[in-house]
Structure 1
Amino acid sequence: MGGENVSTRRGVALALSVLLLPACASTQVSDSDRYRAQAAYDRALGHLRERQPSPALGALKEAVAVDPNVAVYRDTLGLVYLELGRPDLAIEQLRRAAELDPKLADAHFHLGTAYAESARWEDAVASYRQALAQPTLGIPDLVHQNLGLALYHLKRYPEAESSLRFALSLDPKLQAGYYNLGLVLMAEKRAPEARAAFRRARELAPDSPFGQAALERLKTLGDRGVN
């Protein structure tokens, strides 16, 4: 996650607040199949709590196959595909989740992340903005951070800076926000401000991928006093 091409996203183990949302009742599915799908989904949650995304994947596929119109099943399946490094497969599931429940903010956020990891920046921006428009969104700092990164890749630097600074106002310890703000400021040739952003990223966690990437950026900017 230390490079400029990767969006911030929660790991599966950190996303259980999303995964524990009750699945909405679907139509044209028998009660027995609905219970079977819910049982498969519950098994998947158990695997995810144990940080076992591979067996969770099989259970989630079963849940979606048996009861395909529950948005949270598809959202969770898409999130697991992201964790397994398959944004191409995630996009299909997350797009369908957002169609099934347009108010499910996390589906839009995860879809935006899948687009970002596929370098589809315009699509990522649209999905992040859909997430921000939903009253159910619980992580606006991360969405604004990811939105800022996508706008940076589109060279829409003033918008990117605004989004990143807003993310940092919500979470002053968001390391990715400082790093990506530094990228924006470098692109705008505002070297002193970029150095300050990269230094702050280093201070928060110098040994993390973002911290190491910030060190390299500082060296590029001629800041030899860092280590």
Structure 2
Amino acid sequence: MGFEGADPGTVRPGGRTARVRSAVLQAAGDALAEHGFAHLDLADIARRAEVGKTTVYRRWGTVTGLVADLLVDMAEQSLPRTETGSLLGDLKANARLVQRTLADPRQGALFKAVIAAATCEAKAAEALHRFYDIRVEEWAPCVQQAVDRGELPEGTDAHEVIRAVSAPLYYRLLTSGDGLDEAAADRAAGAAAAAARAGVFLRGAEGRA
């Protein structure tokens, strides 16, 4: 999961409308990373993006609407999954993408701000959930392929395995202040792989337990 994408300043083709959207979302991401959700202001974002205030208010309407569109853009830019041919290799690739995203000063701060916004704004929460649904869906086939290869038991919940990979990394980001390095990513991937092999993520396993 995670942003896992191209340079957030990248402008995709599509004419003036696309350039305006890119500039505004870049400015919104910068402002979020610098000041957090509570201090976002559409007029300030318009100034940063060198776009008319009327354009920003007409297109996005509210700060929450702008943050939701920022998450849509992040999902669109996110990199596709890596397939290495082994469960552990795939989960390490996933974990290292998340780790690089969260360890990046700008992107890590941006995610903290968006998560904070999601705790108090329903639209921000909905957008954040959609972002992670997209990213989990992208990586889940790696787990199903491991089931097909015989690495994991039939009935393994692929989505839960992918969530388990990134969960420890977000926990460190939000609660401990400890640095996030590749060793932390590899531990998270290894733990998720071991648990999956042991049947922890079998659908209905909690009921049988």
TM-score by length of 2: 0.33
TM-score by length of 1: 0.31
